[in-house]
Amino acid sequence: MKFFVDTADVAAIKELNDLGMVDGVTTNPSLIMKSGRDILEVTKEICDIVTGPVSAEVVATEAKDMIEEGLKLAKISPNIAIKVPLTWDGLTACKAFASEGHMVNVTLCFTAAQAILAAKAGATFISPFIGRLDDINLDGLELIEDIRTIYDNYEFKTEILAASIRSVNHITDCAKIGADVITAPPAVIKGMVKHVLTDKGLEQFMADWAKTGQKIV
Ligand code: E4P
């Protein structure tokens, strides 16, 4: 399973990347806004750190304008995956980018039907949003399962990039289902290390070690 980090926070990306935890990065207009940085500048900085795919999202709504924006984003670095929304215009732009050999991440996917269209339009990645489905009492993980079954049935090459991940359980559940990639905020990825029994066990070991009066030199 590949780990993408869902942020435009360069320091957080660098920290996880140095540990080998980053196979790619996803950004979106809200994350760029949160970073307070210029999109071209911050995306370039991220591409200089990470060798895997870095998703940068178009903001136009018509295919012609999306294509213009996407080509500009693709010029930032060869590892840019152009991110387009799951609309007819987005699929039109996806097809155009894919035909020219660009990586494309089709985002804002909420149904298996949408995921089929993205695969047929040549998407490199499909991004189903788990957390936002859960937010409205629908089952985000069931969507990942459905897309996995469909893509396997027809040997679609598009990778399932599980997005809108809110918890450590989302990540382990996606791994069990067989999502190709998860993209999660740095805090959720770092949260994977935590267990109360790890902390308690370590505390006990430290206390017992102190009683031995020994030092490892
Ligand atoms: C994915 O590419 C999106 O940037 C992201 O996962 C959306 O997550 P959110 O629903 O927590 O905003």
Rounded to two decimals, the ipTM of the complex is 0.97
- Ligand 1 neighbours, Cβ below 6 Å, are 6, 26, 28, 107, 127, 129, 131-132, 163-164, 183
What does the radius of gyration of the chain's CA atoms come to, in whole angstroms? 20
Which CATH code fits 2-212? 3.20.20.70
Average pLDDT score over the chain = 98
Q: How far apart are CA 84 and CA 30, in angstroms?
A: 14
176 CA to middle of ligand 1, Å?
21
Query: Using one digit for the tens of pLDDT, what is the confidence trace for 17-36?
Result: 999 999 999 999 999 999 99
Q: How far apart are CA 194 and CA 48, in angstroms?
A: 30
Domain ranges of the chain: 2-212
Residue 202: predicted pLDDT? 98
Query: Using one digit for the tens of pLDDT, what is the confidence trace for 130-177?
Result: 999 999 999 999 999 999 999 999 999 999 999 999 999 999 999 999
Ranges assigned E (strand) in 97-167: 103-109, 125-128, 159-162
